[in-house]
Structure 1
Amino acid sequence: MSTKTAVRDLLDRAGTTYAEEAGIKLEDKPAPLYRLLVLSVLLSTRIKAGIAVSAARELAEFGTPQKMRDATWQQRVDALGRGHYVRYDESTATSLGDGAEYLLDRYRGDLRKLRDEAGGGIKALKSKLQEVKGLGPVGADIFCREAQAVWPELRPYFDKKALSGAKKVGLPEDAKRLAELVGDKDLARLAAALVRATLEKDVAEKVSA
């Protein structure tokens, strides 16, 4: 199988971004960016991606920092429970409330202001993201991996987990070389597909360059 054929097959099989899977129509607007942030918090814990995505869907009713902050702790716990996100439900409910309050106080609930403060620097952006409660280095990577769909300065963004997937399917373990295999609009899709190749054995087995 040629490299281009392998990439096309990989995108067909596993190229849905996690944001899309969670029902988030990602745009450079406050609400969808915040929902992506919440999803990134959920995905960064030691829990199956499918459960994190399900929980993010349940939390959609609190889809702005204002709504998340104003929800009771129990309402957040209940939403996480409906998504079967039960192992970390109580601590995550607290983190989401604290994180929402921080975003409102610091950026008026608008992650684009955080982006502006980073001044186009990826390292600065990741550092500022990690000031949000519940979002560590892994969560910041997840956010950037998906946000590259709407924030061009992040492109190409392939974190360690994505590059691990590239190795498993025989694709280049280099962000720039991977970016040459797809157009800008498919970078986030390719990154998500490569993460699935890392996490899901059957994806890697069925796709090989």
Structure 2
Amino acid sequence: MPPTKKQTNGASHEKPAKKKQPTQPKDEPKDTNGKTNGSSRKRKSPPTIATAPSKSRRSSRGGPTTPVDTVKLLNYLLSPSSLSLCRPKDETEDLKTRGANARAYSTSTFTPFEELVCALILSRPIGHMLGLRSIRTIFNEPYEYTTAKKIHEAGYEGVRKALDAARTQHRQKTAEEIVRMATMVVKNPEMDEDNLGMYGLREACNKSVEEERKMLKSNVKGLGKTGLDIFGRRVQGVWEEWYPFIDERTGRAVEELGLPGHAEELRKLVEEKWEELGVGDIEAQNEAEKKRKALVRILERAVGADLEGNVGALKAEAA
């Protein structure tokens, strides 16, 4: 997700400048943690597994991470009980009035096309609460802009009206990008006109994650690395080639909870503890898909708790 007040992708944590030491090289560059490149080299992230966050990273709340009971923590993250700590209070209250069938980013299963809409919205420089409110407003009554065709027919004015109702920011730019993407999908057979699985795009790219990312980035204006990471984090539940994937922002949040922040390590942990985890409410076609969707839920709730400043409270509740 893009940087917000609570959400900082790559925010600097440099210490105050010290007096110049005679042994310090004069112009040695530093990374975002205030370390010289000689001691902390930035690693290149492969398309399906994000760069592993530092193993020695301390909590952004000011202290070292606290050991946790892994099974208890995973089960709490997977349960409905954790939701109140992983999403804005605004969403919790809104869903009470919308009814049981209301669609929300924190609880609903979206089509890949809908995930693209969400990624566009959430990659805008707006707060977590406003992003989720925008998604709820667009996908629920009276708008229900859930397919490319519906968005294309509503046009800029229709989508802008929905964003106005959401009382969000950057409405003009966001509306333009959503409508432009929907129009492109409707007119481009490779993006798949049924708006559901986007099978056309997948076949055109031979289900290569790298090629799919390239095609999406080049065809969807406004969808940069942050948006693609948000999309990838969610779509891996149904697109197995993207699994396992953790973007750097979410990896840091996962580590805050005391879990592995690297995709492959967290996947292995979930596999090892699988028989002890409560995943009965996760709908899937088979066990493999259920495991992927379980990982998605864990990631979404971890990053949600971090964005809401509830990491400590979540760990306490899980214990």
Equivalent residue, structure 2, for 1:29: none
Of 73, 98, 120, 1:41 maps to 120
Residues 37-116 of structure 1 mapped to structure 2, 5 A cutoff: 37-60=116-139, 61-85=144-168, 87-106=169-188, 107-109=191-193, 110=195, 111-116=198-203
How far apart are the structure 2 equivalents of 1:148 and 1:16?
20
Report the TM-score, using the length of structure 2 for normalisation: 0.58
Residues 145-164 of structure 1 mapped to structure 2, 5 A cutoff: 145-164=233-252
Is this contact kept in 2: 1:41–1:135, CA < 8 A? Answer: yes
Identical columns (%): 26
1:172 aligns with 2:260: yes
Please state how far the C-alpha of 1:148 moved relative to its aligned partner: 1.3
CA distance change for structure 1 residues 89 and 123 in 2, over 3 Å: closer, same or farther? Answer: same
How far apart are the structure 1 equivalents of 2:114 and 2:183?
15
**Higher-Rg member (1/2):** 2
Find the residue that maps to 1:72 and give its secondary structure.
helix
How far apart are the structure 2 equivalents of 1:117 and 1:179?
28
1:138 aligns with 2:226: yes
Please state how far the C-alpha of 1:123 moved relative to its aligned partner: 1.8
Q: What do the CA deviations read for 1:100-154 (whole angstroms, capped 9, x no partner)?
A: 1111222243422112222222222222222212211111111111111111111
Please state how far the C-alpha of 1:197 moved relative to its aligned partner: 3.6
Equivalent residue, structure 2, for 1:25: 109
How far apart are the structure 2 equivalents of 1:128 and 1:194?
29
Counterpart of 1:58, as a letter, is T
Counterpart of 2:185, as a letter, is L
Is this contact kept in 1: 2:148–2:185, CA < 8 A? Answer: yes
How far apart are the structure 1 equivalents of 2:156 and 2:237?
32
Is this contact kept in 1: 2:124–2:174, CA < 8 A? Answer: no
More helix by share: 1
CA distance change for structure 1 residues 83 and 205 in 2, over 3 Å: closer, same or farther? Answer: same
Is this contact kept in 2: 1:81–1:89, CA < 8 A? Answer: yes
How far apart are the structure 2 equivalents of 1:4 and 1:25?
25
Q: Aligned Cα RMSD in Å? A: 2.5
CA distance change for structure 1 residues 151 and 46 in 2, over 3 Å: closer, same or farther? Answer: same
Equivalent residue, structure 2, for 1:128: 215
Q: What do the CA deviations read for 1:7-44 (whole angstroms, capped 9, x no partner)?
A: 222333149899x6337433xxxxx2222211111111
1:117 aligns with 2:204: yes
Is this contact kept in 2: 1:24–1:36, CA < 8 A? Answer: no
Equivalent residue, structure 2, for 1:9: 76
How far apart are the structure 2 equivalents of 1:142 and 1:35?
12
Is this contact kept in 1: 2:86–2:310, CA < 8 A? Answer: no
Find the residue that maps to 2:259 and give its secondary structure.
coil
CA distance change for structure 1 residues 113 and 204 in 2, over 3 Å: closer, same or farther? Answer: farther
